[in-house]
């Protein structure tokens, strides 16, 4: 679904030929791979490598060279999500360093999250000594078995002479093709082993490298390009449907160039937000379950759909047969062959690097003099955006979450990095925040992991220290990794944390109100006694405020965002505020529920999802 360029490696390593421990080799490879931060929690089985980190930074300090900071979280899940936030915000491989047993098992969730959203991280986990593997030794866990099911690849290093090459190969796999997480499980005796550092070399993985070479060499030949532009020329309502692959494949600039060259409007998935500047005239923002009504109607109306690094997932194409129901032709650009024709049959496809594919199509269209007047379609879409604009209860005396995010957006102007947890707050942020560039919107998409937002913001701030980083979170989601508040202040990171408090699992409550006759089973937190402001103060936040009155919103948001250093803001929002539009599971865009404040062009009866329909 996405692709990245493999970075050239140094030639003639200055340390080649030196004897060093396996742990020092690990650390040196990390440095050679351009790692600028490590996120992790120590423990017995990984102690040699932690010592190597200390010694590397001590030597770097003496030599007045850049150190590689080690960011210590409250737990290993936080470390994994910090590495993910670092990778998402920078495009580089994030690194997570954990111990054996519970250290490794705590990273299973972020590893699966990274696999689901195609995020490149390398997890290096300590393991019990080679001789003890399989004996149920203290803090032993079957890491290859567990991680093999959720990671892009897993290595268990039992031959210490292969350690250096294995770690280097892990980075190659993580960043190549469709990015993803790679786990390297290193027994303690392998870390303590001493050998000769080579400074070069990779493991032989011929099948993988052959596939990468095929992707690099994949070109859109003349006949294929001609066929594509014939389909586009026969269209009067073309639409680009861009997914996370457009961002992971560094294709945002190529996408914008193609769209503007030929006048093709763009909708994006949740993960594709930022692949085209949301304020661009051709941008129709997000489609899907909680996409804008005008984006979803545009998908219904288009006659030619061009999918770019997207996978027709259930949050977008809930009923595949009815998705883009008027499209006579569908084209698909992707780096992953498995995604093409997996959910919906297409009429034209190209498997290869998305950036290069878009550039090739743009060049072909210009060379052939392709031109088509889509002004009537643009006018239709402008009317859709006007009539079915996003809206909410602006007259309510209660603080509406949409208003908070609009006010934040008024200050950030699409230039801040926004992370989120998962739930209603996530969707409100996606709907009401602008993003003028890629890698500014960081959220857990496919896995939908609560607790993602705060550690991801920490990783993003480490990766982009000059950026304003804001975690827009929910009261339930932030509880999952609330220990990371202390991590923010420990490293004095100027992260801004907003908690939209509606006393519970807001999205679950919304579903229970719509589909379970209002029975709020296990989702209401109104009797809980958590004082988030005191928690933030206890963790060292000098700015920690609660916002309760609508009239105070502009002043408090301005003060909060301008505060120099970590800042925490709890906002008491309308507990009954819902996320609209909403397309129920297993339903088409014709059945989209738009709520009280957004018009609908269909009369919609709210239907309870079928017994097999997912959340």
Residues with a known catalytic role = 76, 138-139, 188, 507
In sequence order, what are the residues at sequence separation of 6 or more whose Cβ sits closer than 8 angstroms to the Cβ of residue 299? 239, 241, 267, 287, 305, 323, 324, 589
3-class SS of residue 21:
strand
Residue with tokens 């409550």: 509
Rg (CA), the chain: 25
CA dihedral 209, 214, 216, 217 (to 10 degrees): 140
The total of other beta-carbon atoms located within 10 Å of residue 608's CB is: 11
In sequence order, what are the residues at sequence separation of 6 or more whose Cβ sits closer than 8 angstroms to the Cβ of residue 189? 129, 130, 131, 160
Percentages of the chain per state (helix, strand, coil), in multiples of 5: 40, 15, 45
Q: How far apart are CA 359 and CA 445, in angstroms?
A: 27
Strands (E), 453-548: 469-474, 496-501, 543-547
Q: CA 216 → CA 55, 200, 398, 503, distances in Å?
A: 39, 23, 54, 50
How far apart are the two ends of the chain, measured CA to CA in Å?
A: 24
415: left (phi over 0), alpha (psi -120 to 50) or beta: alpha
Q: How far apart are CA 523 and CA 507, in angstroms?
A: 9
Quick one: 481 exposed, middle or buried, by C-beta within 10 A (0-12, 13-18, 19+)?
buried
Quick one: 365 exposed, middle or buried, by C-beta within 10 A (0-12, 13-18, 19+)?
buried
Instruction: Tell me which DSSP letter residue 93 carries.
Output: P
């Amino acid at each position: 679904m996405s692709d990245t360029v493999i970075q050239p490696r140094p030639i003639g390593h200055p340390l080649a030929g030196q004897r060093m421990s396996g742990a020092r080799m690990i650390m040196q490879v990390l440095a050679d791979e351009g790692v600028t931060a490590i996120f992790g929690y120590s423990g017995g089985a990984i102690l040699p490598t932690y010592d190597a980190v200390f010694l590397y930074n001590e030597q770097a300090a003496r030599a007045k060279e850049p150190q590689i900071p080690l960011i210590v979280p409250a737990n290993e899940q936080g470390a994994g999500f910090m590495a993910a936030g670092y990778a998402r915000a920078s495009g580089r491989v994030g690194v997570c360093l954990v111990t054996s047993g519970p250290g490794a098992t705590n990273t299973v969730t972020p590893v699966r999250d990274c696999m689901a959203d195609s995020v490149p991280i390398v997890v290096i986990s300590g393991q019990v000594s080679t001789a003890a593997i399989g004996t149920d030794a203290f803090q032993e866990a079957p890491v290859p078995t567990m991680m093999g099911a959720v990671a892009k690849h897993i290595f268990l290093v039992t031959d210490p002479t292969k350690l250096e090459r294995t770690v280097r190969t892990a980075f190659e796999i993580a960043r190549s093709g469709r990015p993803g997480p790679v786990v390297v499980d290193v027994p303690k005796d392998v870390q303590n082993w001493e050998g000769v550092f080579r400074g070069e070399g990779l493991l032989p993985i011929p099948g993988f490298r052959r596939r990468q070479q095929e992707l690099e060499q994949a070109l859109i030949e003349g006949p294929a390009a001609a066929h594509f532009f014939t389909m586009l020329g026969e269209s009067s309502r073309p639409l680009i449907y861009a997914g996370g692959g457009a961002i992971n494949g560094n294709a945002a600039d190529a996408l914008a160039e193609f769209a503007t060259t030929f006048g093709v409007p763009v909708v994006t998935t949740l993960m594709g937000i930022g692949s085209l500047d949301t304020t661009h005239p051709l941008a129709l923002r997000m489609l899907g379950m909680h996409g804008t009504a005008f984006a979803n109607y545009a998908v219904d109306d288009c006659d030619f759909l061009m999918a770019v690094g997207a996978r027709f997932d259930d949050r977008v194409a809930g009923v595949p047969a009815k998705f883009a129901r008027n499209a006579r032709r569908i084209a698909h650009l992707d780096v992953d062959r498995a995604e093409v024709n997996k959910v919906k049959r297409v009429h034209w496809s190209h498997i290869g690097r998305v950036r290069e594919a878009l550039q090739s199509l743009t060049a072909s269209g210009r060379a052939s003099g392709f031109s088509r007047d889509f002004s009537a379609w643009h006018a239709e879409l402008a009317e859709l955006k006007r009539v079915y604009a996003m809206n909410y209860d602006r007259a309510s005396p209660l603080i509406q979450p949409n208003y908070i995010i609009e006010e934040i957006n008024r200050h950030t102007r699409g230039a801040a990095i926004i992370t989120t947890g998962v739930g209603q707050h996530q969707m409100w942020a996606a709907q009401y925040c602008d993003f003028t560039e890629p890698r500014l919107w960081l959220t857990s998409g496919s896995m939908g992991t609560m607790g993602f937002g705060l550690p991801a913001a920490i990783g993003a701030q480490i990766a982009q220290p000059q950026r304003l980083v804001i975690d827009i979170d929910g009261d339930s989601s932030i509880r999952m990794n609330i220990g990371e508040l202390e991590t923010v202040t420990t490293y004095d990171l100027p992260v801004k944390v907003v908690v939209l408090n509606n006393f519970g699992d807001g999205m679950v409550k919304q579903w229970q109100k719509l589909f379970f006759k209002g029975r709020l089973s296990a989702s209401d937190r109104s009797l809980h006694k958590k004082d988030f402001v005191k928690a933030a103060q206890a963790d060292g936040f000098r700015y920690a405020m609660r916002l309760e009155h609508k009239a105070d919103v502009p002043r408090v948001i301005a003060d909060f965002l301008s505060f120099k250093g970590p800042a925490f803001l709890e906002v008491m929002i309308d507990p009954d505020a819902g996320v609209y539009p909403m397309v129920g599971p297993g339903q088409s865009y014709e059945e989209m529920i738009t709520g009280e404040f957004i018009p609908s062009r269909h009369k919609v009866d709210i239907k309870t999802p079928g017994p097999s329909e997912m959340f």
